[in-house]
Amino acid sequence: MTVLYHNPRCSKSRAAVALCEASDLDVEIHLYLTDPLSKEVLQDVLSRLDGPISAAIRSKDAKFKEVDSSNLDLESLDSVVEFLSMHGHLMERPLLDTGAISVIGRPMEHLEAHL
């Protein structure tokens, strides 16, 4: 099943929901802020990420500066998973996982190819 990890406060994420609803695919919408992802799910989803693992973290977000990132290795899947398991609000969104590939919808065209 295809899953869209969604933050309703994010306009790009809301646009991704609209794309999913317009597609022929059965897409589950997962509100990751209210239902945080386990380390196992993060590992699974991010291991299939199309692009650099560093793209999974909102490192330019002002809240990123408020957390301890001194042990974060942006090139390491395990390090990114560990960081996001503690700071899920800093996961880049929208994130679409088809089960074969995970894609960040920035720009939105990245999602369109998989819906």
Report the 10 Å Cβ neighbour count for 49: 20
Region at 25 (left for phi over 0; alpha for psi -120 to 50; beta for the rest)? beta
Query: What tokens does 22 get?
Result: 């317009």
Identify the active-site residue in 2, 10, 30, 55: 10
Is-catalytic flag, 20? Answer: no
Distance, CA of 15 to chain centre: 15
Cα of first residue to Cα of last residue in the chain, in angstroms, is: 12
- Which residues are identified as catalytic? 10
